[in-house]
Amino acid sequence: LSAGELAAVRADFPLLGRTLRAGRPLVYLDSAATSQKPEVVIDAELEFYTQRNAAVHRGAHQLAEEATEAYEQARDEVATLVGAATGEIVWTSGATAGLNLLAYAMSNASAGRGGQAARALALGPGDEVVVTEAEHHANLVPWQELCARTGATLRWIGVGDDGRLQLEQLADVVGARTKVVAVSHVSNVTGAVTDVPAVVAVARSVGALVVLDACQSVPHLPVDLPSLGVDAAAFSGHKMLGPTGVGALWARRELLEAMPPVTTGGSMVEVVTMESATYAPPPQKFEAGTQMVAQAVGMGAAARYLRELGMPAVAEHEAALTRALLDVVSRVPGVRVIGPTDPADRLAVVSFVVDGVHAHDVGQVLDDQGVAVRVGHHCAQPLHRRFGVAATARASASVYTTLADVEAFGEALATVRPFFGLGGAA
Ligand code: PMP
């Protein structure tokens, strides 16, 4: 993005213009937790509520028709952003819900639900699910639970000192009994980008499904899910400039057809008798109850906004931010980055430890200077344990982040150790 384009992007985000306590400008470096929202997203929700609000897929009236059209157009926008067919996008409340939906569908299949088509998705004792040590808890705990319910075994590959997945371990960990390989596309801690085709090649060779946690990739990279070769992927609206409370699960049509439903009730059925029910085809089969229509419309607007900016341009802008973040952090004495130090291997989410200072204190000192970062384990406790730390501070960027934001962060970071009487002022 040129300077002019970036200024125009920033002007689209009302919140970026606010000031903090003591009149400080906001330096928002917590986009990996949740992104800010452009006016078009806020307006899309507002327009829905002020002009179109009605239950979808039901009413015979004009509003219901318009609401349904807005809801389905939004699905189409999200599908287009990730190269998917519209009917392969299931609305969920977020990535966590999408990953749980997959895991619960598989346990329903394991309990004999879903008939013949679902049998290939069933797990039992001796079967295996493979994850990685780098996963967000959302792509770990649902698989632990699936294993606990079915008697299957959870296995995993590790992370090297460089913060990259040790993909060479897949050859030992993935075997004839592997049913699922679940990995994140981009780590929300290290920013490391997974070599997805390499994972797919190993999983395919044993007929395992590949599930991708695409939460941290879809907002930042051009992502074409079908051509990555994975079978399913989950991502969240709120991390890609959209609203909270909405996300998407993408899966190949055959997989969605084979998956038994998880949440059952209204809107997902065809014929219901007192004894039983038949189900609507996907995606409706997975969308029981009144859906989050306004949020879906907002997520559609976010997908369109990103598509119009152009994901290659977004990725290029953010690559410059990655280099700048790594550069400023490496210039501050006593600061150690967790994860790849080569900007080519990662995105603009940089977790670090400051020697002698707890991450929460780092966050406090930065906040006093208007710099918002996240501190803690970022829902990835095993990964933090792997690096021998309980918590890190994390600076993360999005398309609206500027090099000036990164510089302000660097200046504030240089004050942290001196603030605590430790050496190392830059
Ligand atoms: N996976 C990754 C990699 C994430 O960064 C997050 C959000 N921190 C999630 C899953 C869960 O997303 P959500 O909380 O929106 O369901």
Average pLDDT of 82-101? 98
- Are 119 and 270 a contacting pair, CB within 8 Å? no
Mean pLDDT, the chain, as a whole number? Answer: 97
CA-to-CA dists, residue 151 to 122, 144, 156, angstroms: 11, 10, 16
Pocket test for ligand 1, best of 31, 91, 132, 136 (most atoms within 8 A of CB): 136
pLDDT at 426 over 60: no
Ligand 1, residue 239: give the atom nearest the CA.
Answer: 15
pLDDT at 72 over 90: yes
HEC string of 284-339? HHHCCCCCCHHHHHHHHHHHHHHHHHCHHHHHHHHHHHHHHHHHHHHHCCCEEEEC
Angle at 293 between CA 252 and CA 249, to 5 degrees: 20
| Interatomic CA distance for residues 119 and 105, integer angstroms | 11
| Interatomic CA distance for residues 155 and 118, integer angstroms | 23
Structure-block tokens of residue 153: 């075994």
Angle at 357 between CA 356 and CA 361, to 5 degrees: 170
Tally of residues, the chain: 426
Nearest to 82 by CA among 66, 100, 98, 103: 98
pLDDT at 28 over 60: yes
| Interatomic CA distance for residues 235 and 145, integer angstroms | 20
* Domains of the chain, each with CATH number or no CATH: 3-30+310-419 (3.90.1150.10), 44-308 (3.40.640.10)
Q: Residue 91 half-sphere exposure, CB side, CA atoms within 13 Å?
A: 27
Structure-block tokens of residue 408: 């302000």
pLDDT value, residue 424:
61
Distance between Cα 138 and ligand 1 center (Å): 6
Tell me which of 379, 389, 403, 422 is the catalytic residue: 379
Pocket test for ligand 1, best of 101, 379, 396 (most atoms within 8 A of CB): 379
pLDDT at 425 over 80: no
Distance between Cα 106 and ligand 1 center (Å): 21
Buried b (16+ CB within 10 A) or exposed e, 3-13: eeebeebbebb
Can you say whether the dihedral through the CA atoms of 91, 95, 96, 102 is positive or negative? positive
CA 265 to centroid of chain Cα atoms = 28
pLDDT value, residue 57:
87
Q: pLDDT tens digits for 246-289?
A: 999 999 999 999 999 999 999 999 999 999 999 999 999 999 99
pLDDT value, residue 58:
78
Angle at 297 between CA 295 and CA 298, to 5 degrees: 60
Q: What residue owns the CA closest to ligand 1's atom 6? A: 215
pLDDT value, residue 59:
78
Q: pLDDT tens digits for 215-242?
A: 999 999 999 999 999 999 999 999 999 9
Strand 27-28 versus strand 349-354 pairing type? unpaired
Q: pLDDT tens digits for 112-135?
A: 999 999 999 999 999 999 999 999
Average pLDDT of 19-45? 97
The band of 423, judged by pLDDT with boundaries at 50, 70 and 90, is confident
Ligand 1, residue 33: give the atom nearest the CA.
Answer: 8
Average pLDDT of 207-222? 98
Q: Residue 224 half-sphere exposure, CB side, CA atoms within 13 Å?
A: 6
Distance between Cα 99 and ligand 1 center (Å): 10
Pocket-forming residues, ligand 1, beta carbon under 6 Å: 94-96, 136, 138-139, 184, 188, 213, 215-216, 236, 238, 379
Strand 153-157 versus strand 128-132 pairing type? parallel
170: amino acid identity, one letter:
L
Nearest to 295 by CA among 214, 228, 238: 238
Please indicate whether residue 379 is annotated as part of the active site: yes
Burial of 79 (0-12, 13-18, 19+ CB in 10 A): buried
